Amino acid sequence: MRVAVVGIDGVGKTTVLRRIHEAGDVAVIHAIRAQDDPGSPFAGLSTKLAEASAAADAVGRVHLKAAVFYLQLCLYSAAERRAAAAGRTVLADRHPLIDPLVYLPLLGRMATSDNPDADVADWWQKQNPAAAEAVRAWLHRCFGGVDPWAAGARLLEVGVKPRREMLDELSRMFGVAPPDAVLFFDLPVDEAVSRTRTRTRGTELHETTEFLSKARRGYEQALDWLGAHRPDIAIRRIDCSGRTVRAVSDQVRQVLTDLDGRA
């Protein structure tokens, strides 16, 4: 069984999945930050992509943020196959077919089309040279070229399509099938923002109250659509407000048990 765990930044997805992973009976993968699993063979490249994402935040250009998002999601299919090979339930911290239904339309509305040349050069320069070479090589392998702006534009173009077309195109783009179930971790935006402010890493381009509010509504709308058009995908809401990591983890385990019994 393949289960996507989604929700706005700050709801506690990574922390809860880390606790579940420690029990050893469920495989956990990370669509964006593979380095959160030290045993992942993709951890090194994922760390470099995280640095590239931070550089995109510093430059402030959505096309570059989208390009890194694309490159991060290109790691997912191999990670999922590797995790599923053990025959265990696979929990994914974000999913390349679900989260883009929310974030691509939002990022597209933030994008500007003025001349990107200076900002692209600045983005490369903000990265460690060795890391930049690894990012460039992965970009060429995934996209067939080394223009990050074009790669970002290609992904943003998908975000203007109807959801059904988006889902199909993302599936082809990343070589991934829809999950069997989606767990939506939900939390009031003010609590989520408070949590993101306590992180040791810097604030990302999209971690603002306004953006997270739109993203939360986007998840509700996208999952309502998914429930209506893909009834084969089970959708469950997990309320994370004012609850401990243990309480949320226990609920997730119970939901997984219930879903497994329905399969």
Helix ranges (DSSP H) in the chain: 13-22, 43-59, 62-73, 76-84, 99-110, 117-125, 129-143, 148-158, 163-174, 189-197, 209-229, 245-262
Per-residue pLDDT tens digits of the chain, which is 263 residues long: 999 999 999 999 999 999 999 888 899 999 999 999 867 899 999 999 999 999 999 999 999 999 999 999 999 999 999 999 987 899 999 999 999 999 999 998 888 777 799 999 999 999 999 999 999 999 999 999 999 999 999 999 999 999 999 999 999 999 999 999 999 999 999 999 988 876 555 555 556 899 999 999 999 999 999 999 999 999 999 999 999 999 999 999 999 999 987 76
Domains, in order of start, for the chain? 2-262 (3.40.50.300)
pTM for the full predicted model: 0.92
d(CA 154, CA 115): 17
From residue 248, how far is each of 31, 37, 108, 123, 245 by CA, in Å? Answer: 21, 20, 33, 38, 5
User: 181-186 and 90-93 as β-strands: parallel, antiparallel, unpaired?
Assistant: unpaired
